[in-house]
Structure formats: C-alpha cells, structure tokens
Amino acid sequence: MGLGLELFHIGGVGLGGHLAWQYSLLHPHKILKLILINPQGQSLDKTNGLFPFENKGSFDRFILRWKGSYQAIEKQLKKSLGNQSVITNKLVKQTQDLLICNGNRKSLEILASQPLKNRYDKIKTIQTPTLIMFGGLITQYDFGKEMPKAKFKTYEGIGALPMIEIPEMTAKDVISFLNS
C-alpha cells in the first residue's frame, strides 16, 4: 500500500538517509530531489548516529533488547550530538515518543531482520539532485562523492543530528536547495 505520490522529494537522517538513497535507486523516476543527513550505507561495518551498532548482528541485538528506555535514548543522544546543551528532557522524550509510536519499533525489528545488501557501488547511478549534509564530527565525509549531482554541506563542531543542533541553519540550507 502506498501513498499514491507520483513525484516527490525524499530525505532522511542516518538509517533514514540510507533508506532514502536506496529508494531513489529503485524508483529514480519518482524522486525530484534527495536530501541526506549523515547518511548510512557506504559500509555495512560502521555507523554514526542514534543506534549503536557496528554490524547487523549487534543492531539486531540492540533492537530486540531495547525497550524505549529514557536512559538508553539519552545516552545515544549524548554520543550523537556535538552540542550537548541541546539535550533536554523534552528532546529525549520526543525522541522516545518518535521511536515507539505507531509501530515504529516493530518496523525497526522487521528492518533488522532483513538481510543487508550493500548497494553503495550503484550510488554513482543516482542522477537526482542531492544535498548531503554532514555534522563535522562525523568521519564519513566521502559519502556520495561518486554522485554526479550531489552538493555537500558540512557543519563544523556538529554531530550526527545537525537539524537538532542547528535547526535554523539546516532548514535554511534545505529550503535553498529545494528552491534551486
């Protein structure tokens, strides 16, 4: 069941970025512009972001043992963000609510149970205009360098979630990209 959209912009952060660029590989005719924030998928071995996994096996274990605890989310946010001052009770609770709402945990369990297939070698075929945004504390700056229509933005001193640490700046950059 789909939403019935014919053309649209798609984007994602971390794992969501991985899913967005994978979708654009499968359905290039539907994507107008692609926005990736600290995307995953260049390697199946490493990741920076909210979920602490180095390979699929540990991701499976994390999802299966994770119960949406406030403390686990707070700990991962502290690892993921460069500007610790943005970590508030409200942010931790919002993140917790997002991760456990409307079947999201079940979706993550299903995703974790699927075999991972690295398609990064095909990323060079994505012809969609793409904005790739990196927090400067993330080490995989070379993600997407093979994409012919990619533009890059790096935010120094910022972690894996720049839209939380510097929301006005990242929103301005996204709006500028979408309007270009």
Strand order in the sheet with 31-37: 8-13, 31-37, 130-135, 150-155
**pTM score of the predicted model:** 0.82
**Stretch 87-110: mean pLDDT:** 83
Query: Is residue 2 situated within a structural domain?
Result: no
Kindly report the three-state secondary structure assignment for every residue of 150-163.
Answer: EEEEEECCCCCCHH
Q: What is the pLDDT of residues 134-153, one digit of tens each?
A: 998 876 667 889 999 999 99
Please determine, for residue 58, whether its predicted confidence score (pLDDT) is greater than 70. no
What CATH number is attached to the domain comprising 171? 3.40.50.1820
Q: What is the pLDDT of residues 108-130, one digit of tens each?
A: 777 767 676 678 889 999 999 99
Please determine, for residue 165, whether its predicted confidence score (pLDDT) is greater than 90. yes
Query: Is residue 81 situated within a structural domain?
Result: yes
CA 90 to CA 19: how far, in whole Å?
A: 27
Half-sphere exposure of 103 (CA within 13 A, CB side): 3
- For the chain, how many structural domains are there in total? 1
Enclosing H/E stretch for 59:
helix 56-65
Cα dist. 92→33, 66, 99, 164, 166 in Å? 30, 15, 11, 12, 17
* Helices vs strands, H then E, count in the chain: 7, 4
Whether 77 and 52 have beta carbons less than 8 Å apart is answered as: no
Query: Is residue 119 situated within a structural domain?
Result: yes
Query: Is residue 175 situated within a structural domain?
Result: yes
Q: Higher pLDDT residue, 144 or 54? A: 144
Enclosing H/E stretch for 70:
helix 70-80
Query: Is residue 1 situated within a structural domain?
Result: no
Percent share of the chain, pLDDT over 90: 48
Host domain of residue 116: 8-179
Q: Which two tokens stand for residue 65?
A: 């043992």
Sign of the CA dihedral running 36, 42, 47, 48: negative
Q: What is the pLDDT of residue 50?
A: 44
